[in-house]
Chains A and B, each alone.
Chain A
Amino acid sequence: FSLSLLKYYQVKQNGFTASPQCSNENIFNHNALILFQLFINNEWHDAVSGKTFPTINPTTGEIICHVAEADRADVEKAVKAAQNAFKLGSPWRRMDASHRGLLLSRLADAIERDAAYLAELETLDNGKPYAVSYSVDIPNVVKCLRYYAGWADKWEGKTIPIDGNFFCYTRHEPIGVCGQIIPWNFPLLMQAWKLGPALATGNTVVMKVAEQTPLTALYVASLIKEVGFPEGVVNILSGMGPTAGAAIASHMDIDKVAFTGSTEVGHLIQQASGSSNLKKVTLELGGKSPNIILSDANLEDAVEQSHFALFFNQGQCCCAGSRTFVQADIYDEFVERSVVRANRRVVGNPFDLKTEQGPQIDEEQFNKILGYIGSGKREGAKLMCGGGVAADKGYFIQPTVFGNVQDNMTIAQEEIFGPVMQILKFETLEEVVSRANDTKYGLAAAVFTKDIDKAHYVSNTLRAGTVWVNCYDVFGAQAPFGGYKASGNGRELGEYGLDNYTEVKTVKRSEWCINYMYMYVMHHGKTRNMSS
């Protein structure tokens, strides 16, 4: 045991107390070093370069700690480990599929056991309200891992009645070494979305976590080791996109890369794959999702859901309902009520259980959002509330609502990724569908109406990977999620999520005996069920 591990196990024995009054000290007095290093081959490593970078508490703007900064050389080490773990005859390749499932299930159990600690750490590093990390992020992480645990031994190939004298079947085989690059808005949940299907199908993983939020992922690394995943199956690197991320995307020995983040970087990933080894690419990118409120909708419900659709997670959701289209006859009332709701939103210390909205993730995002608010005002949208900074330290922004937004404004076209709501007016169904689809994105959409025909019409015609009817941001590990158009490539979650981590092998075997069997049957005429 290294010193860090020893500390870690001592902490395990003493146990954590779930206190929402978290400070840097009581988190890191416990298991300091383990959280700061790169996880390769079930061991903790400093970066080859010796470099570290600071991770910031967005509530205060202060440094929490310094974390090892992975670069190309560390990616190289991690890929070697992952390749080794994926070698023919390795424990991981020889393991029963059901046992892979059991390990994933044990990982879910371990995360559930340490839920309070992980939620604290997530809130500290990300700024999302503790009440949300504890009751939304962590339970969904656990459920996602359990869901894919169950798939491990159910991902079946087929036998295929091919023409001619051949016996044909398919095997679902893992792709190999998968690079996975995850964002900072749901650090733990995105990690589970990536690990679940990749491990259930038997791949090995080199994961780069967002430089803004490396801490919980590294803690999960220790749990991965604890529950007994073989060495090298999961390797977790903290580092920056342009260095470590780019090294993953262009690595010749990585067989697949899965990226969740901005559309801009998504383009780079796909290009890097093309210019290197044509690794398989799945992308889950940005959005500018339309949320369509018809005049027959339950208004109170629609206002609340639309508020939630945009402001959840400080507006930092790829599927945020950031174009709220409201039918003309209820437009004014909807805007008025939405402003009332936004003004009621509790912004503050994320460890306060009453807090609905914490800080934005970092200074860069904070400034970017303020810039978008400025452009909205400049381009003629009507600022109904908010629009400014909400605290004298940290990266807090007031809940902001714009009325009279036009489709051609920047705030109606680009992803703001902040607590800024755009409300647009429409007259007819055909018009709103056409305007809603007039975007390069296609991640999600929603429609609020009591009319079943209108609900069908809108949900069938929107170009989006997910459509919610009379609800928003409803997720389940069972239901696939992903984007049309520039919002991504492939689907995560559900059975579909397994496709992205599978190579299908078709085996065809020459079979003279089938012919022989026909002759036999014609001769004897007795044998039943020949073809089965």
Chain B
Amino acid sequence: MRSSSVGHLAINPGRSLKSQSQICWKNPTDAGKSTTDPPHPHTHTYIHAHTHTTHTHTHIGMTSSKIEMPGEVKSDPAALMASLQLMPAPVPNPEIKYTKIFINNEWQDSVSGKVFPTYNPATGEQIIEVQEADKADVDKAVQAARLAFSLGSVWRTMDASERGRLLSKLADLVERDSVYLATIESLNSGKPFLPTLFVDLQGTIKTLRYFAGYADKIHGSTIPMDGQFLTFTRYEPIGVCGQIIPWNFPLMMTAWKLGPALACGNTIVLKPAEQTPLTCLYIAALIKEAGFPPGVVNILPGFGPTAGAAMAAHKGIDKVAFTGSTEVGKVIQETAGKTNLKRVTLELGGKSPNIIFADSDLDLAVEQAHQGVFFNAGQCCTAGSRIYVEEPIYDEFVKRSVERAKRKIVGSPFDPTTEQGPQISREQQNRVLEFVQSGISEGAKLECGGKALGLKGFYVEPTVFSNVTDDMRIAREEIFGPVQQIMKFKTIEEVIERANNSDYGLAAAVFTNDINKAITVSTAMQAGTVWINCYNAMSSQCPFGGYKMSGNGRELGEIGLKEYSEVKTITMKMVTKNS
């Protein structure tokens, strides 16, 4: 691959995949049965794939609990099939235009002159080189953000509704370029193209629109205080916000961070993950196109220990928001403590329990539990990675889960039939495989999978462990890969205690048809989100965040705005008072 700042990439959209010697395994763990699954004619495969993808989305939808189709929703099967024919394909040979640092609405080279490569995890090949921001670049960006935030600036004097308008325009632009963005997102992160388009891009667009609507609705209050006073509050922006986002949902995490911060009127220095800088940089170009004033949003591709650390320690940054590992989250909080006591919000790791009672709809529970852990190749902070199954259905649940995992289609992200792409990097792949080894050596039963897959790219087989006990590493630590742990429980008291016995508290789920069990468990869970008979049902209207060491603060929803506001109480002496 090239290393120039502008490159063209050969993407093979779904239709032509198999003739392009791309990776495409069907039933990777069950090759012996492949004779029952002959290659379909291309068009047929295509339609089949979309149906399948749609089905997946129904369950793991990050933005909606129902199928999202372009245009109107088709209810009858014939219309549905017709609409599937129109399903978008990736952009062939997408040009990558933006690989520099975005400061003050301008594209800049790094001060050090350094660049770093970014890879296609499906092949392990380099896509392109990107300018590498370091402390000096962070200084420049903070200066730009401070200037944009200075009293009397265009941004500070802008009507709140106009800020909303700009965010809304940004959403429209993302929507306009969504196929391109989904293509690049797939290429750079390895996540399958169609789910990227229908989950990640929709989630991004909807989040931006949601917060666009909030810009002029962030109300202070007038307060009937004692004495002859008029007291009112103003919700003011905090100032310059450092935002550090992860590689598992690069676009969506960008939107989760930009939406509330901009709606509230802050300015931003944002560092995307070094693994996945490309879509975030394209968003930078859209931010400029939408008309945000220079310096309001600055985007700096770079590494955590250099650029990220510089942000966490910067005295000109008033708040830092970080999404990533708990380990780094602690460093961020410590750094804020050591420097200027900047406000810190953290969205960190999890080891989320998913509790399946014997009275639940087993088909639903198996499929949701499967999606709950395997979605996005297991690379979700919310992954339901501790599945507690009530004793009477344990064996059946394990059997069906193994069948489902074996059916999982692992392959090229651009094959429309693919459910699972590669892990993000060789490092993550190795880490996941190391966890699998620990599971085996600590005595869990490997039901299927457990190995790397393919000659190139960072694939891991869908893996299921049964007979997992709470003390095993695979039951305690975040694996962030396609590895499902299934445990057994007997009583509701027992499972509540075991589920809560974790440093983490990001999410939890319960599957039961008994409304009282559902409420008991959901009330008792020490987790920021509890799903009942569903998993990963997320939406920009609903707050998300962690108890305990899964984080600090909440993103999304109205409460997400609080994390980007300073409340000012203004009290004015009055001469007289009347109700």
**CA A382 to CA B189, docked complex, whole Å:** 80
Contact A461 B578 (CB under 8 A): yes
Contact B576 A101 (CB under 8 A): no
Contact residues of A between 457 and 476, Cβ < 8 Å to B: 457, 460-461, 476
**CA A336 to CA B574, docked complex, whole Å:** 34
Interface string of A479-517 (1 = CB under 8 A from B): 000000000000000010000000000000101111011
What chain B residues lie within 8 Å of A517 (beta carbons)? Answer: 520, 523-524
Interface string of B228-246 (1 = CB under 8 A from A): 0010000000000000000
Contact A105 B168 (CB under 8 A): yes
Interface string of A509-532 (1 = CB under 8 A from B): 101111011001000101111111
User: Is A96's CB within 8 Å of the partner chain B?
Assistant: yes
Contact A526 B214 (CB under 8 A): no
User: Is B547's CB within 8 Å of the partner chain A?
Assistant: yes
**CA A509 to CA B515, docked complex, whole Å:** 10
Contact B558 A150 (CB under 8 A): no
Contact A457 B516 (CB under 8 A): no
Contact B526 A529 (CB under 8 A): yes
Segment touching A, from B205-213, B248-256, B324-332, B411-419: B205-213
Contact residues of B between 185 and 213, Cβ < 8 Å to A: 206, 209-210, 212-213
Contact A146 B558 (CB under 8 A): no
Q: Select one of B161, B496, B540, B574 contacting A527, CB under 8 A.
A: B496
CB distance from A297 to the nearest CB of B (A): 18
CB distance from A465 to the nearest CB of B (A): 15
Q: Select one of A167, A526, A531 contacting B497, CB under 8 A.
A: A526
Q: Would A154 and B213 be within 8 Å (CB), given that A477-B161, A520-B493 are in contact?
A: yes
Q: Would A98 and B206 be within 8 Å (CB), given that A146-B164, A154-B213, A516-B520 are in contact?
A: yes
Nearest opposing residue in chain B for A97, CB measure:
B541
Q: Select one of A146, A153, A452, A457 contacting B572, CB under 8 A.
A: A452
What chain A residues lie within 8 Å of B210 (beta carbons)? Answer: 98, 153-154
User: Is A147's CB within 8 Å of the partner chain B?
Assistant: yes
**CA A118 to CA B84, docked complex, whole Å:** 39
Contact residues of A between 433 and 467, Cβ < 8 Å to B: 452-453, 456-457, 460-461
Contact A147 B161 (CB under 8 A): yes
What chain A residues lie within 8 Å of B524 (beta carbons)? Answer: 517, 520, 527, 530
Name which of A98, A477, A509 has the most chain B CB atoms within 10 A of its CB. A98
Interface string of B494-525 (1 = CB under 8 A from A): 00110010000000000000011101100110
CB distance from A442 to the nearest CB of B (A): 15
CB distance from B66 to the nearest CB of A (A): 8
Q: Select one of B215, B217, B578 contacting A151, CB under 8 A.
A: B217
CB distance from B6 to the nearest CB of A (A): 33
**CA A473 to CA B541, docked complex, whole Å:** 34
Nearest opposing residue in chain B for A148, CB measure:
B213
Q: Would A495 and B574 be within 8 Å (CB), given that A98-B209, A98-B541, A520-B493 are in contact?
A: no
User: Is A149's CB within 8 Å of the partner chain B?
Assistant: yes
User: Is A329's CB within 8 Å of the partner chain B?
Assistant: no
Contact B575 A478 (CB under 8 A): no
Nearest opposing residue in chain B for A152, CB measure:
B213
Contact B523 A146 (CB under 8 A): no
What chain A residues lie within 8 Å of B519 (beta carbons)? Answer: 167, 511, 513-514
Name which of B215, B230, B524, B526 has the most chain A CB atoms within 10 A of its CB. B524
User: Is A102's CB within 8 Å of the partner chain B?
Assistant: yes
Q: Select one of A150, A156, A516 contacting B164, CB under 8 A.
A: A150
Nearest opposing residue in chain B for A532, CB measure:
B523
Q: Would A528 and B493 be within 8 Å (CB), given that A153-B541, A460-B578 are in contact?
A: no
Contact A530 B541 (CB under 8 A): no
What chain B residues lie within 8 Å of A66 (beta carbons)? Answer: none
Contact A150 B497 (CB under 8 A): no
CB distance from A484 to the nearest CB of B (A): 14
User: Is B64's CB within 8 Å of the partner chain A?
Assistant: yes
Q: Would A527 and B500 be within 8 Å (CB), given that A102-B209, A154-B558 are in contact?
A: yes
Nearest opposing residue in chain A for B523, CB measure:
A517
Nearest opposing residue in chain A for B66, CB measure:
A96
User: Is B219's CB within 8 Å of the partner chain A?
Assistant: yes
**CA A453 to CA B572, docked complex, whole Å:** 10
User: Is A143's CB within 8 Å of the partner chain B?
Assistant: yes
User: Is B165's CB within 8 Å of the partner chain A?
Assistant: yes
Nearest opposing residue in chain B for A102, CB measure:
B209
What chain B residues lie within 8 Å of A509 (beta carbons)? Answer: 515
User: Is B477's CB within 8 Å of the partner chain A?
Assistant: no
**CA A97 to CA B576, docked complex, whole Å:** 45
**CA A509 to CA B518, docked complex, whole Å:** 13
CB distance from B538 to the nearest CB of A (A): 13
What chain B residues lie within 8 Å of A167 (beta carbons)? Answer: 519
What chain A residues lie within 8 Å of B516 (beta carbons)? Answer: 511-513
Contact B213 A527 (CB under 8 A): no
Contact B216 A478 (CB under 8 A): yes
**Dominant secondary structure at the A interface:** helix
Contact B213 A151 (CB under 8 A): yes
**CA A466 to CA B524, docked complex, whole Å:** 47
Chain A: residues with Cβ within 8 Å of the partner, total of 43
Contact B217 A478 (CB under 8 A): yes
CB distance from B286 to the nearest CB of A (A): 18
Interface string of B546-563 (1 = CB under 8 A from A): 010000000000100000
Contact B575 A453 (CB under 8 A): yes
CB distance from B554 to the nearest CB of A (A): 12
Q: Select one of A457, A511, A524 contacting B575, CB under 8 A.
A: A457
**CA A512 to CA B523, docked complex, whole Å:** 13
Q: Would A154 and B217 be within 8 Å (CB), given that A98-B210, A513-B519, A529-B526 are in contact?
A: yes
What chain A residues lie within 8 Å of B64 (beta carbons)? Answer: 96
CB distance from B359 to the nearest CB of A (A): 15
Nearest opposing residue in chain B for A453, CB measure:
B575
What chain B residues lie within 8 Å of A530 (beta carbons)? Answer: 523-524
Contact residues of A between 166 and 200, Cβ < 8 Å to B: 167
**CA A295 to CA B230, docked complex, whole Å:** 24
Name which of B165, B516, B523, B572 has the most chain A CB atoms within 10 A of its CB. B523
**CA A424 to CA B322, docked complex, whole Å:** 62
**CA A509 to CA B520, docked complex, whole Å:** 13
Name which of A101, A150, A460 has the most chain B CB atoms within 10 A of its CB. A150
Q: Select one of A150, A452, A520 contacting B213, CB under 8 A.
A: A150
Nearest opposing residue in chain A for B230, CB measure:
A456
**CA A453 to CA B519, docked complex, whole Å:** 54
What chain A residues lie within 8 Å of B216 (beta carbons)? Answer: 147, 150, 477-478
Q: Select one of A101, A143, A512, A528 contacting B161, CB under 8 A.
A: A143
Q: Would A101 and B213 be within 8 Å (CB), given that A456-B575, A511-B519, A530-B524 are in contact?
A: yes
Interface string of B565-579 (1 = CB under 8 A from A): 000000010111110
CB distance from B357 to the nearest CB of A (A): 13
Interface string of B151-181 (1 = CB under 8 A from A): 0000000001100110010000000000000
Q: Would A150 and B526 be within 8 Å (CB), given that A513-B519, A527-B496 are in contact?
A: no
**CA A233 to CA B217, docked complex, whole Å:** 26
Contact A156 B558 (CB under 8 A): yes
Contact B165 A154 (CB under 8 A): no
Contact A529 B547 (CB under 8 A): yes
Contact residues of B between 461 and 519, Cβ < 8 Å to A: 493, 496-497, 500, 515-517, 519
**CA A93 to CA B44, docked complex, whole Å:** 35
Interface string of B273-315 (1 = CB under 8 A from A): 0000000000000000000000000000000000000000000
What chain B residues lie within 8 Å of A527 (beta carbons)? Answer: 496-497, 500, 524, 526
Nearest opposing residue in chain B for A461, CB measure:
B578
Nearest opposing residue in chain B for A531, CB measure:
B523
The 7 tightest CB contacts between A and B, nearest first, are: A150-B213, A513-B520, A453-B575, A513-B516, A456-B574, A478-B216, A153-B541
A-B CB contact pairs (8 Å), 13 listed: A150-B214, A150-B215, A153-B213, A154-B217, A456-B230, A476-B161, A478-B161, A511-B516, A514-B519, A517-B520, A524-B497, A527-B496, A528-B500
Besides A460-B578, A529-B547, A531-B523, 8 more A-B contacts (Cβ < 8 Å) are: A98-B206, A150-B215, A457-B574, A457-B575, A476-B161, A495-B217, A509-B515, A532-B523
